[in-house]
């Protein structure tokens, strides 16, 4: 089983050297006086210790034992509950919450770094506190004062956890067709009835209460997405003084048997005239949810990054130890019966692909989290809007591209192990199974692709794309005379131009036939992902080169950074050629078959 | 759970219309008088009925229950044993075996078609009889008359099963370093001692005896691959009259917990001075094994094809039923609350990719099986050798490319189901887990790639590649004036030229640095796979077009074939552009990092 070790040096490289995060915090009134480099590094150390020593050892246990359901009660795997208590004691649940409800009011970007460690060491466990986060944010932004006072302190402290109850058996991506009903009670509350599925952490034994945020329809609500409202539905009702009252009519009907994340309870939750409280305006539930769509999707992007990182760690260790065959260029280990498999170019290709996705993904995620800070805390509305444009544009890329590359990296980790990769005890196949869901939930890759190309790029008439291209262009301009970076800057600039060109081409075709958008979207997303990561790799190479030029003694670290950038540009970025060629062929061959003719 | 339905129409299309299999059998003395179209179709019907109604219903049960190990005894999942009895009653185990040992002496190519059905409906089950096949072939080709008489009749009837015991914990791809020992006994037998792992069907309750074919080293044998011999080691010793004697010192030490194929027992087998019998010449064990390497690898290629087919069937059914969102081009199902998801181009892309891999893979596998027939039964040594060249060249492509595309197709099937794809009851994620092993066993994708580029292409100085290119060139020539096929023939011809060009380039670079072969091999294999499948798709389109021109009324079937070919050429074949671009960048960036610098 891979022994997780938090990549603190790389995290610090991205935070401090690539993103100048201290300066970023200093520029934001909310954090200028409170968040220093020392504080960031101290949280990282604490989180690393907790994740390496408490969570990682439970990862395989969670997979093997899974959750147990008995008559509505869910028992989590051995050790999960105790680890959660330690997590509370360390103060992690309250990290980013508002101070007046007991939060530490620290930046979300710091939360993302900690989420990466939690997720890399034990994703299934991390979903319990992770889901709470969405509930807290929803109540913080849309709740009444009374709702905030009732629910936030206990959610923030971690004594209670939260869920998001959106999906129904027939309605996943298409939330407009949900059927759960909310009928007004005489006391101002609502009676919520319906069945929700795929509710992660929907029932468990780790906290004394669970606060469900539920999408439902009011009587006579308009059809579709404009008739959905948001409700707080606690598992156990709460008295006015905050103490627990009687059980609400909320029941976990069953838990799913699934491919992975066995340690997390994926629940069917039945609401049978359960008491609920409207949160936010009537029929505006989806809009309220969309407030956090970007951060929730970054949260899922982190799962992809985490899979790349943990699988990479396991694979490198194995590739250095496992002896099999000789290097084609002659024995490297002549006194042993074979060479370690890391001598083989094909094995190195697997490992470097993982490394490039993990470290490149880290840069993208932390960069986005920095923009999420700006969206909330930048001093001017203009700065917030401009940050929101970048965030909105990059979020579907990060979510879909990093989860797909995370899945690829996890599979490459299995491949490095050969047949042993298929065996559970080594832990490599678990990473594949656990991370497979990341390409599905929070909007599948196909949905993200439509969001990127349709909503973000074409609906803005290319404006959001231009904003990001401007950032990259500026970087290219800045380094255009640096000969050592030419191998990165030139192809990056070429790809930027191509990005604009294919966008225009698709836009023109879509005028004729809207299905051209759906036909191009997934390849467009991959193209965008590869170019986005190329920017971060070029940028990281530039930073590393600068450090070496300044005489840093960390030559191995910075040298590896530059060499991995070179690998990315020579072995990964050329994948864009397939995607542009495929985009060029348009929608035609996709729509030719009638539904009846797929199988004859 | 996908309800498997044998794709008989498509199988017949490939066998009869694409490959003229009846004519092929008529040309071979071994089958000319015995194998007619009627006989082939009758076997197909019988196998389809058995697979659809007996094996498919056990597939999910096998996954859920898995095999149980208790003190050396393995119990297979509910129903497996009974299904095996029916399989015996239907005469399938003896299909391709020699008549004098009770076989039906039917062609291997017919066996492949039946293997596809067995594998598509229940791969884990199919491995029990599948592994016997290797043991039978080994004994048929290398056994003494006495060995044949002792073991073959019961193996051929299916009363006993067989295994291949190659791998040891430290030795997988590198069999040269195995440690299992064979010490001569005074009676001419050998005492076999050692531990073998990953022995599929190594112990079970479906047959009264198990015949292990074991690789081991004789005292003083040369080091490496030239010091390995092959032994027959029965689980229960066999008396001279064929009756069972005492238990041999062969014990199943444990079974593996693994990602998939739970219904098949993957065993650790301990030999503790077990009685074994040398088969074939001393120290030539690996050569004896290599006789069947190609057919064993085609067997694994079938797993990829089977995954594409079964996942495709499940996904198409779901995509036609599941209602979510509206077509971008306007509602297609206005009286329902949403359109079936098959209206979306991105969903069609997933489905058509599966279909293209399944049907294209079928053509490749059956074509190869036809060549395997020729290698064994062609009238002249020259014809056998020439067939062997094609078979040897295409086998690593079929094994690696079809298992990788099968895995991709299985994942696409999950993607079509969205979150439901992750849930076990739907059966889609099981296909992913079951087929993941196909890219690992019988030589990983990386090993196949080295076999293709290093051994087959470069060692033959391109001769084997030229043989296959000649077949494709001939096809292109034949249709060069057919305007309706121009969209296939032109890009196919371009790719053929490119295939030669990149081969020459790599060959030249490899003169300077042997690691260039390892660096290029996997991309070269993918390139080769996409072009090979392009040939089969062009060929199938040509056949379909011809049938339509002749006035066939099966316009939907042939129309779908042509449209899927168009899809393949526009949406799949352009992937080669990434591979050629990546090959061009050579080995440089792969070898730059020292092993110590992968993680700092």
Question: What pLDDT, in 10s, does the model give residues B9-34?
Answer: 999 999 999 999 999 999 999 999 99
Q: Does A600 have pLDDT greater than 90?
A: no
CB contact under 8 A, B351 and A598: yes
Q: Which pLDDT tens digit goes with each residue over A541-593?
A: 999 999 999 999 999 999 999 999 999 999 999 999 999 999 999 999 999 99
**What does the alpha-carbon distance between residue B409 and residue B415 come to, in Å, rounded to a whole number?**
10
CATH second-level architecture of A292-443? Answer: Up-down Bundle (1.20)
Q: From the candidates B309, B429, B442, B516, which is the catalytic residue? A: B442
- Sign of the Cα pseudo-torsion (A297, A303, A305, A308, in order): negative
Tokens at residue A137, please? 């944010």
CB contact under 8 A, B422 and A444: no
Identify whether the C-beta of residue B376 lies closer than 8 Å to the C-beta of residue B24. Answer: no
Q: What is the mean pLDDT of chain B?
A: 97
- For residue A104, pLDDT over 80 is answered with yes
Q: Tokens for A264?
A: 């997390």
Look up tokens 């650790």; give the residue. Answer: B268
Note whether A518 contacts B: Cβ–Cβ < 8 A. Answer: yes
Sign of CA dihedral B453, B456, B460, B465: negative
> What span, in angstroms and rounded, lies between the C-alpha atoms of A153 and A495?
49
Distance CA B228, CA B226 (A): 6
Query: Token pair for residue B165?
Result: 């015991």
A78 touches B: beta carbon within 8 Å: no
- Burial code of A321-340, b = ≥16 C-beta within 10 A, e = fewer? ebbbbbbbbeeeeeeebbbb
Q: Are A311 and A389 in contact (CB under 8 A)?
A: no
The ranges assigned to domains in chain A are: 8-142, 162-283, 292-443, 461-587
Apex CA B591: angle with CA B586 and CA B595, to 5°?
Answer: 160
* Through-space distance between the first and last CA atoms of chain A, rounded to whole angstroms: 46
Q: Among the options A140, A168, A442, A516, which is catalytic?
A: A442
CATH match of B161-284 with 2.130.10.10: no
Q: What are phi and psi of B276, to 5 degrees?
A: -135, 160
What ipTM describes this predicted complex?
Answer: 0.98
Residue identified by tokens 């909007």 is A443
Q: Which residue has the tokens 């495709």?
A: B312
Quick: pLDDT tens for B65-78. Answer: 999 999 999 999 99
Decide if A415 and B440 are in contact by the 8 Å CB cutoff. Answer: yes
CB atoms within 10 A of CB A281: 12
Residues in chain A: 600
Residue A434 confidence (pLDDT): 98
Q: Do A439 and B596 touch (CB under 8 A)?
A: no
Least confident of A103-112, A146-155, A328-337, A528-537: A328-337
By Cβ distance, the residue of B172, B577, B589 closest to A577 is: B577
Sorting pLDDT into bands at 50, 70 and 90, what band is B108?
Answer: very high
Distances in Å between the Cα of A297 and the Cα atoms of A210, A309, B389 are 22, 19, 52
Residue A1 has a pLDDT of: 61
Residue given tokens 């359901």 in the structure block: A69
Mean pLDDT of B308-323: 98
| Residue contact A578–B574, C-beta within 8 A | yes
CB-CB contact of A304 with A114 (8 Å): no
Q: In whole angstroms, what is the distance from residue A209 CA to residue A235 CA?
A: 6
Question: B323 contacts in A (CB within 8 Å)?
Answer: 170, 174, 177
pLDDT of residue A292: 76
DSSP B155: H
Average pLDDT over residues B384-388: 97
Contact criterion met (CB < 8 Å) for A571 and B585: yes
C-alpha radius of gyration, chain B, whole number: 24
Contact flag B592-A567 (C-beta cutoff 8 Å)? yes
Quote the strand ranges of B66-176, DSSP E: 68-70, 73-75, 160-165
Residue A33 exposed, middle or buried by CB count within 10 Å (0-12, 13-18, 19+): exposed
CA A376 → CA A132, A220, A381, A464, distances in Å? 19, 35, 10, 19
Instruction: Find the closest chain B residue to A434 by CA distance.
Output: B422
User: Which residues from A are below 8 Å from B560, CB to CB?
Assistant: 593, 597-598, 600
**Which residue is it, tokens 């970054």?**
A298
Does residue A2 surpass a pLDDT of 90? no
Q: Count the Cβ atoms, other than its own, within 10 Å of residue B221.
A: 17
3-state secondary structure of B275: strand
CB contact at 8 A, A200 and A126: no
Q: Rounded mean pLDDT of B146-165?
A: 97
Kindly state the average pLDDT of the residues A453-462.
97
pLDDT digits (tens, 9 = 90+) for A188-246: 999 999 999 999 999 999 999 999 999 999 999 999 999 999 999 999 999 989 999 99
Query: If you average pLDDT over every residue of chain A, what do you get?
Result: 97
Confirm or reject contact between A557 and chain B (CB < 8 A). yes
**Residue pairs spanning A and B at CB distance below 8 A:** 287
Distance of CA A587 to the CA centre of its chain: 30
Token pair for residue A102? 């007991």
For B171: left if phi > 0, alpha if psi spans -120 to 50, otherwise beta; the answer is beta
Cα separation, A417 vs B67, in Å, equals 24
Residues facing residue B278 across a β-bridge: B231
- The whole-number pLDDT of residue A384 equals 97
Shortest Cα distance, chain A CAs vs residue B429, angstroms: 6
Architecture in CATH for domain A162-283: Beta Barrel (2.40)
Does B17 contact A at CB distance below 8 Å? no
CA distance B182 to B218: 5
* CA–centroid distance for A233 within its chain: 26
Tell me how far apart the alpha carbons of residues A104 and A101 are, in angstroms, rounded to a whole number: 9
Q: pLDDT class for A500, splitting at 50, 70, 90?
A: very high
The pLDDT assigned to A544 comes to: 98
Do A396 and A382 touch, CB atoms closer than 8 A? Answer: no
> The domain A8-142 is classified under which CATH number: 3.40.50.2300, 1.20.1630.10, 1.10.3720.10, 1.10.540.10?
1.10.540.10
Report the residue from B346, B348, B436 with minimal CB separation from A521: B346
- Phi and psi torsions of B278, nearest 5°: -60, 135
Residues sharing a CB contact under 8 Å with residue B596, sequence separation 6 or more, in sequence order: A556
Chain A nearest-CA distance from B6, in A, is 11
Q: Please state, as a whole number, how many other Cβ atoms lie within 10 Å of the Cβ of residue B26.
A: 13
Question: CA A249, CA A260: separation in Å to the nearest integer?
Answer: 29
**DSSP letters of B168-199?**
BTTBSS-GGG---EEEE-TTS-EEEEEEEEEE
Among the listed residues B271, B312, B385, the one whose alpha carbon sits nearest the alpha carbon of residue B120? B312
Query: Residue A296 pLDDT > 90, yes or no?
Result: no
* pLDDT band for position B1 (cuts 50, 70, 90): low
DSSP-derived 3-state class of residue A65:
helix
Q: Nearest CA to CA, how far is B24 from chain A (Å)?
A: 26
Do strands A68-70 and A73-75 pair parallel, antiparallel, or not at all (unpaired)? antiparallel
B296 pLDDT higher than 90: no
Kindly state whether B258 is in contact with chain A, defined as any CB-CB distance less than 8 angstroms: yes
Is residue A316 within 8 angstroms of chain B, CB to CB? yes
Report the relative pairing of strands B209-216 and B160-165 from DSSP bridges. Answer: parallel
């Amino acid at each position: 089983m891979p022994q997780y070790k938090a990549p603190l040096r790389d995290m610090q490289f991205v935070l401090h050297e690539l993103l100048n995060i201290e300066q970023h915090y200093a520029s934001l009134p909310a954090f200028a006086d409170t968040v220093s480099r020392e504080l960031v590094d101290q949280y990282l150390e604490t989180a690393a210790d907790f994740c390496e020593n408490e969570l990682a050892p439970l990862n395989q246990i969670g997979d093997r034992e899974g959750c147990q359901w008995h008559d509505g009660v869910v028992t989590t795997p051995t050790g999960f509950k105790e680890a959660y208590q330690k997590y509370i004691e360390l103060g992690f649940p309250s990290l980013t919450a508002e101070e007046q409800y007991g939060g530490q009011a620290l930046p979300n970007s710091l939360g993302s770094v900690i989420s990466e460690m939690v997720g890399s060491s034990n994703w299934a466990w991390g979903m319990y506190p992770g889901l709470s986060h969405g509930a807290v944010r929803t109540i913080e932004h849309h709740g009444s004062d009374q709702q905030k006072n009732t629910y936030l302190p206990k959610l923030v402290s971690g004594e209670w956890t939260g869920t998001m109850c959106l999906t129904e058996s027939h309605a996943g991506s298409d939330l407009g067709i949900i059927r759960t009903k909310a009928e007004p009670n005489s006391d101002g509350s609502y009676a919520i009835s319906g069945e929700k599925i795929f509710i992660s952490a929907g029932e468990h034994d780790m906290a004394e209460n669970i606060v469900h945020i539920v999408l439902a329809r009011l009587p006579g609500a308009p059809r579709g997405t404009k008739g959905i409202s948001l409700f707080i539905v606690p598992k156990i009702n709460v008295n006015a003084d905050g103490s627990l009252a009687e059980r609400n009519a909320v029941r976990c009907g069953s838990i799913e048997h699934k491919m992975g994340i066995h340690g997390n309870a994926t629940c069917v939750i039945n609401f049978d005239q359960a008491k609920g409280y409207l949160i936010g305006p009537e029929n505006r539930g989806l809009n309220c949810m969309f407030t956090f769509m970007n951060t929730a999707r970054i949260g899922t992007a982190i799962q992809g990054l985490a899979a790349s990182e943990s699988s990479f760690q396991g694979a490198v260790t194995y590739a250095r130890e496992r002896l099999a065959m000789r290097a084609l260029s002659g024995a490297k280990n002549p006194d042993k019966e074979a060479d370690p498999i890391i001598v083989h170019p094909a094995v190195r290709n697997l490992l470097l692909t993982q490394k490039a996705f993990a470290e490149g993904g880290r840069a993208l995620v932390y960069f986005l989290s920095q923009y999420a800070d700006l969206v909330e805390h930048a001093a001017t509305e203009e700065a917030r809007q401009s940050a929101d444009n970048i965030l909105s544009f990059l979020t579907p890329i990060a979510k879909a591209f990093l989860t797909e590359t995370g899945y690829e990296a996890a599979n490459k980790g299995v491949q490095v192990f050969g047949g042993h990769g298929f065996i559970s005890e080594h832990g490599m196949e678990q990473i594949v199974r656990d991370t497979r869901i990341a390409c599905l939930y929070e909007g599948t890759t196909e949905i993200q692709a439509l969001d990127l190309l349709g909503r973000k790029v074409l609906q803005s008439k290319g404006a959001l794309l231009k904003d990001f291209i401007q950032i990259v262009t500026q970087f290219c301009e800045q380094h255009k005379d640096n000969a050592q970076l030419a191998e990165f800057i030139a192809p990056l600039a070429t790809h930027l131009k191509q990005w604009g060109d294919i966008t225009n081409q698709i836009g023109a075709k879509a005028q004729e036939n809207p299905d051209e958008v759906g036909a191009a979207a997934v390849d467009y997303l991959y193209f965008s992902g590869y170019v986005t990561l190329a920017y971060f790799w070029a940028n990281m190479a530039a930073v590393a080169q600068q450090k070496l030029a300044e005489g840093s003694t960390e030559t191995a670290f910075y040298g590896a950074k530059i060499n991995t950038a070179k690998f990315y540009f020579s072995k990964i970025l050329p994948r864009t050629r397939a995607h542009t060629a495929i985009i060029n062929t348009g929608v035609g061959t996709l729509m030719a078959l009638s539904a009846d003719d797929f199988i004859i």
